[in-house]
Amino acid sequence: MSAAYATFGLAPAMRAGEVLADGGFQVHRDFVDFIVDGRPLLFRLSDLDAVSPLASDVPPAIFTAQVRGLLLEADAPLAGGRHVIYGCPECADVACGAVTAVIERAGDDYVWRDFAWQTGEQVDLELNGYRGIGPFRFHGDAYRTALHSLLDAQGPGGRRRVLLIGARVAVLARLAAALRTIGIGADITRDADRVPADELRAYGAVAFGREAGQEERAAVRRAFERAGVEVAYVDGLAPIVPLLVAQIEHALDRSPVEQRRLTRLVTADGEAGVEVTSACRVRLTAYRLDRLSRTRTHEVFDGLLEPGRHRIPLDARAVKGESYVVARTAGSVLVEAMAR
């Protein structure tokens, strides 16, 4: 085992939710990711759609038990001293597949080794081991301090409620229903002055419909300022529910910008410019309103991209007129209006 030390840290992360064109959905999950040598450990695992066991929506007792397990203050949940490092974002069942590793003490240090993909009680390292990942040796003091900070804060926190402001009640109702389906709470109002300050503190974002006037927007901002609450404000691009969901997902992303996979999206001249920081699957979806204000959806790209900047041509039929492009990875979402 290498004697070199790796640095250990924690940072907020997100598995983005999505409303699918076929009526299906993908749930939103907020979690705490492991930062090893300054980079999210999840990014070393290619294009894995997974979350750590330190998720904000698990009951406090289970969250505490997960932290205690990582500190080796409780027995390992799997045979051979193995712990779940990343699991299924939908059900957290090992049977769906999970990244596991042995966690052990080496003097005052902690060592993570023998990373593997596991779907049952036992794991075959020859067949399913992650070669080239680990072992990682962490200084005990820094490791314990990082994990104890989660216990001191009583979990990773996060505000997953959105306040919707606008006059088109039917659109807002559909948007609220879509958000609730993927695990984000949503409420509709026209007057935030009537919302108690304690309730305003539960919101992580405010989304304005296009018809919301400047005075109405200013009044909402003043209400949050009086309550001492910082929220992300979203200006809805169009009355297209999946598009608005994507905008809100981006606004709720609390992960550090430098630790995101998807960092850039520009759209112009029939192309999309995309930048990613690690190899991952990227999907581009175009939404547009036709002459009868009907929504048209086109999947324009779905593929693996290497780190760096990429130029992706877009089907002219998909982005004519009033159109928008959504770029997604498992953990990041960006939205841009198509330049006209």
Same-domain pairing of 42 and 137 = yes
Whether residues 102 and 239 share a domain: the answer is: no
Secondary structure of 84-133 in the HEC alphabet? EEEECCCCCCHHHCEEEEEEEEECCEEEEEEEEEECCCCCCHHHHECCCC
Judge contact between 304 and 310, C-beta under 8 A: no
- Kindly state whether residues 127 and 42 are assigned to the same domain: yes
What average pLDDT values come out for the chain (340 residues) when binned by 10 residues? 81 88 83 94 88 89 93 92 92 86 96 94 88 93 95 64 89 93 90 82 91 89 90 92 94 89 93 94 93 88 95 90 92 87
End-to-end CA distance of the chain: 57
A 10 A CB-CB count for 79 gives: 11
The DSSP code for 338 is P
- Answer yes or no: do 57 and 117 share one domain: yes
Peptide bond into 135 cis (omega under 30): yes
Q: Say yes or no: 134 and 23 in one domain.
A: yes
How many independent structural domains does the chain possess? Answer: 3
Residues across the chain: 340
Instruction: Give CA–CA dist 217/209, Å, rounded.
Output: 10
- The span from the CA of 88 to the CA of 92, in Å, is 5
| Same-domain pairing of 264 and 245 | no
Residue type (1 letter), 32: V
C-alpha distances (whole Å) from 270 to each of 265, 273, 307 are 13, 10, 22
pLDDT confidence of residue 211:
85
pLDDT at residue 317, rounded to an integer: 86
Alpha helices in the chain (DSSP H): 60-70, 125-128, 140-152, 169-181, 197-200, 214-227, 241-252
Q: Do 22 and 70 have their domain in common?
A: yes
Assess contact for 216 and 190: CB atoms under 8 A. yes
Domain of residue 51 covers 5-153
User: 260 and 179: one domain?
Assistant: no
Same domain, 295 and 209: no
CA 67-104-50 angle, 5° bins = 50
